[in-house]
Amino acid sequence: MSIPSALYGVKSVVGSKLFAKIPVPEAIPGIHEQIFIVTGANGGLGFESSLHLSRLGVGKLIMGVRTVAKGEDAKKRILDITNQPSSAIEVWPLDMDSYDSVKAFASRAFTELPRLDGVLANAGVMTTKWDLSEGHEKTLNVNVISTFLLYLLLLPKMRESGKATGQISRFVIPNSALYNMAPLAELDPDKDSSIIERLDDEKTANMSGRYPLSKLLVLFAVRELAKRSSATGKGDSIINTPNPSFCKSNLAQESADSRAYKLFEKALARSTEEGSRVLVHGLLAGLETNGQYLSNCQVETPRCQVTDKWGQRVQQRFVEELLGVLNQIQSDIALNI
């Protein structure tokens, strides 16, 4: 990681904590009829985002959770605060470690939901430990492959909903300023081996930088898929990737016991509630956010490793590989673009 990258990361966290004022989400027209999905909804940013949506009075909120009992407990806590009817929230099982679970969740959404106005794909992992998930390194699989599997499975439903209701549907994936600190060696577009094969190689994997790298890959895929989906003429939809900044949450469990981490968190971390405002903003934002990285509720141009010629080559090559993997998981899913 270069010194400029490190300085950018520090500047982003400090600036967000000390100088940015994040507005509390406000209802948009028709929200009382709209249906939203939040994954990883029983804790952290997912819970706080779900609480905001319930407070705004959404027509229905689907809480996607790995453990239904924990989801039901989170639902009860939200309803106790917002006084919404129990029917306004449903808890559905979703394990982003399992392609079958992602497919079943998306199929249920197609069958049972009369419309789909937004998806906050919040579920993710942050670890430096090597582990496999569906044959791929776990962070890569959960944060990237399974997340875009869910996106492409739901995209036709999102477009169909937008055409029927006149309300454009949005798919939101949380990001992080850490994308700027991602190690880039594994992404070399000039090597013969595929990027995904390199990332799945336990012997050479740089796991200390894998979470930041997963966020860089999300940014590449959001930018590329937004461009491709807009060009198909199949109907408008929005995909964006907002950065809630450094927040107090249980995501960084491996670092939580570190004294240095605790001091850093105390000094500079946002509350989880404040960070969730940024995600809900992305979930209610307009077409100008399609394909964009958002910071402090504003569109922000990504750094040069995303936008320069090298970054564009990596972006196109990685997304082609990603679509190849997704086509193996679900036949011809790339046609949904």
Residues designated catalytic:
211, 215
CB of 241 within 8 A of CB of 272?
no
Q: How far apart are CA 255 and CA 10, in angstroms?
A: 18
Q: Which one-letter amino acid corresponds to residue 116?
A: L
Q: Which long-range contacts (CB under 8 A, 24 or more apart) does 71-78 make?
A: 71/41, 71/42, 73/42, 74/41, 74/42, 74/43, 74/47, 74/50, 77/47, 78/47, 78/50, 78/51, 78/54
DSSP 96-115: TT-HHHHHHHHHHHHHH-S-
The SS3 call for residue 165 is helix
Q: Quick one: which of 201, 199, 197 has its CA closest to 183? A: 199
Radius of gyration of the chain (CA): 19
Q: Quick one: which of 124, 123, 145, 141 has its CA closest to 132? A: 141
Rounded to whole angstroms, the maximal C-alpha distance in the chain is 57
Residue with tokens 């850490």: 178
Take residue 230 and report the two structure tokens written for it. Answer: 């807009």
Q: How far apart are CA 178 and CA 219, in angstroms?
A: 11
CB of 246 within 8 A of CB of 270?
yes
Helix (H) or strand (E) holding 299: strand 298-300
